[in-house]
Amino acid sequence: MKFNKITLVLLLASPSLFASPNLTISTSTNSRDFPLNSESPLIVPLTKASYTLKVTGIGGRCIAPVAQKVKFNQPLSLNCASPTELPIKIRFNGDYAFTFDAESKTIVINRQAKKSTRKAFKRPLPQVQCHTYDGGEVTVNLGDTYKNGTRLIDKLSGQVVNVIQQQVTLTPATDSGGLILLEPLHKPSKETEFNWRNANIYFVMIDRFNNADTSNDNSYGRRKDGKDEVGTFHGGDLKGVIEKLAYIQSLGTNAIWLSPIVEQVQGFVGGGNAGSFPFYSYHGYWTRDFTKIDNNFGNEDDLKRLVEEAHKRGMKVLLDVVINHSGYATLTDLQADNIAVVNPSASLPEQWGDWQPSKSQNWHSFNDNIDYNNVEWRNWWGGDWVRTGLPNYPKPGTNDRTLSLAGLPDFITESSKAVKPPQWLLNNPGTRVINRDNYTVADYLIKWQTDWVRRFGIDGYRVDTVKHVSGDVWMRLKVAATRSLEDWREENGKTGQPFWMMGEVWGHSAYRSPYYDEGFDALINFDMQKKMDQGASCFSQMADTYQSYADTLKQEPDFNPVSYMSSHDTELFFGRFKSFEMQRNAASALLLSPGAVQVYYGDEVARNIGPYADDFHQGTRSDMTWSLDVERQKLLKHWQTLGQFRQAHPAIGAGTHEDIKQQNGYAFSRTLGSDTVVVAFAGKSK
């Protein structure tokens, strides 16, 4: 690429120029990433819990002891060539300092004596090496990608150019961030065949997306808290998703991933470590009945219409599937199901779900009304169904397959014992649960989940908490779901691609692991979000990542990473920098990545973090932003252009990646069959 004006600037000059020290703080269900630097300690508020610290991006040569004991106030050695994982148990709520020493390659953890007076953590902009673009025309070398005389169009600027001596000259669009997207002006007229490696998946958390039916907002006696509504239902429903299908389609979406739609526990538990808010299952991951749609989300007619309308628009529908656990026992459910474990008390209202804490209590105090040593717990799920810390139930274990994730009842999916559904579930109004001869726990769960496929033509699953259930169960789920989709298609005169299954293996990165042998067609890639900071600061920083992903895709025919920039269990990218420029550039880095990508609702309009009390990840589930200011309108337009460009070209996610050497700058081609595109980066605008 040859510019008429270009300056190469070095935004950082230090021995660790190409290393980006990073600290990931994780629990079993969520995580956050923080940059480390040796100039000042990182201060992070932590609550009582067990965490895993993962330090990456350390430059130089260093090896940490294998059996390193984690102690506070003492230097902990780090690895330079590989991640350093440090388990730590926090026993006291408060602020903790992480002090990184770049010279000694160590980190020290200190508990702050009192609440830190420092300002809230503000993520600094990454300091990376990048070309700068001063404006005007640029010349892009195309190598042998296109023949001389080929007419190309830049999708961002709309400029049409002719290939002359394997080059084109044009001016990048004003708001493109220096990006150029080249495709042949005259493309083949035949319809582009969908390829899951090029999938653009839009993740909708139903309750927080769009409320089109206010009549079901407070189903089962659920209430608002009258405060920040951190953990309450906000009203989003399936009708609301249907109402916005044209919008979702405009983003170049191939598939819609819906948060779990099934009936949730009807009441609340205490939210946050301090019990500062009532926490309902608005997110969909605490199931009560796997065979019913939760009334807050709508009904079966709504689901049927959503699938039909999405299919008309060329979009597939993925359901979020939970096999590992059920939901908590709430006062509302215990009363509805006549589980006699609640102590009669004057403080309990007639409808137990209306309970509120007194001045001396918090929302965790609802537990004071429940006798957790009562043998009547046998009438809840029962010890043949779940592991949990109740009388006559198997106790949770300590490994991934047997632990109780976040204290949730852990289904005994490995059991070969025939079981009967609990009576309260058989009696649940509107349930499709029946007693089946010789069915095990796993048999029931697979039957309940795949019935949605057989009855509604669901195209695929996003599977929750994969590493906590054995692989044979996932393989059986895939086989049953595939058969169910074939049955639905036969009954409805439809054809299509095989059932598709994407898994969430917490912390998994972009490599081909044995999980692909257990029925999974793709795995969520937790690696990309960490690379987004640098990629958004300078697009050419994605070069090594793109090459690595593309090489693995080429080497492993059944490998497919699903990359993302924001998540309900990590953080929102916009919350990192509050920069529309960074958000736009991150969109470019994500949507041009090899392999499938996942967009979290509102990424495309810089949805901001919401109230979260003392549970940060509640803020990542804020209400969708529908009222757009000028900056958000520009961002949305950029996102739509890139998304539609990706959708039109399967080569972007599924093609062969080739770097094209430039005099200055960065460019690459992607090719899949007759589909070829070139992406070029003119540099960072001054």
Active-site residue list = 464, 504
Q: Is the dihedral of CA 551, 23, 508, 206 positive or negative?
A: negative
SS3 306: helix
Contacts with 603 (C-beta within 8 Å, 6 or more apart), sequence order: 565, 566, 572, 573, 574, 583, 587, 639
Q: Which two tokens stand for residue 655?
A: 């093609």
Dist. CA 51–CA 89, nearest whole Å: 6
CA distance 115 to 614: 14
CA dist., res. 100 & res. 657, Å (int): 37
> What is the identity of the amino acid at 504?
E
DSSP states of 398-443 as a string?
SSTTTS-GGG--EE-TT--------HHHHTSTT------TT--HHH
C-alpha 659/C-alpha 22 separation (Å) is: 28
3-class DSSP state of 173: coil
129: Cα separation from own chain's centroid: 29
d(CA 210, CA 665): 42
Beta pairing, strands 255-258 & 200-204: parallel
Q: Assign 310 to helix, strand or coil.
A: helix
- The answer to whether the beta carbons of residues 219 and 296 sit under 8 Å apart is yes
Dihedral of alpha carbons 79, 85, 88, 93, sign: positive
**Alpha helix (H) ranges present in 101-176?**
none
- CA triplet 392, 406, 220: central angle to 5 degrees? 85
Would you give the distance in Å from CA 309 to the centre of its chain? Answer: 24
d(CA 607, CA 625): 6
How many C-beta neighbours within 10 Å does residue 281 have? 26
DSSP string spanning 95-127? Answer: EEEEEEETTTTEEEEEE-SS---SPPP-PPPP-
Q: Return the amino acid letter for 384.
A: D
Among candidates 197, 200, 259, which has minimal Cα distance to 599?
Answer: 200
Nearest to 221 by CA among 336, 364, 358, 359: 336
